[in-house]
Structure 1
């Protein structure tokens, strides 16, 4: 996974994840309170709200922009090479 330096740190991603964490907490509360089907419904429903909120925010421009990708992923195929870079010349002294 070398070179993977962006892990979705955007407002859209954070909003979706926070809503889904809240869904897990609410669902877990109802599970412990003895109402497992209410807990399951709350967890599934609120998780869906988190996904929709994250996707809507991404569509509104709060997600990852394509131009923020690492350079090696956006370089044209003609510029990429599978050969190793040449060794630097030894400094004469």
Structure 2
């Protein structure tokens, strides 16, 4: 192949990983709190779930996104 298609780098940045980890933790805690019948903590987990993408967006704007100056691409 003389002209391979480049990987756009979706999800391979500190901003993306941080957002996903926050949302995964929120979902796991929300499930646990639902099972334990702790409604106020379930709603707190929903709030944390909404904070995940916001943190990812802020980190991307701070330069930790795929095309940011603080991001170092890794070889696959």
When the two structures are superposed, what TM-score results if normalisation uses the length of structure 1? 0.59
Q: Which residue among 18, 21, 25 is the counterpart of 1:18?
A: 21
- Name the structure 2 match of 1:61: 63
Greater mean deviation of Cα atoms: 13-22 or 29-38: 29-38
Which 5+ residue runs of structure 1 have no aligned equivalent?
A: 67-93
C-alpha deviation, 1:49, in angstroms:
1.4
Q: Secondary structure of 2:11's match?
A: coil
Cα distance in structure 2, aligned partners of 1:10 and 1:62: 7
When the two structures are superposed, what TM-score results if normalisation uses the length of structure 2? 0.70
- Name the structure 2 match of 1:27: 30
Aligned residues: 63
Computed over aligned residues only, the root mean square deviation of the Cα atoms, in angstroms, reads 1.9
Which structure is higher in RCO with an 8 Å CA cutoff and minimum separation 6? 2
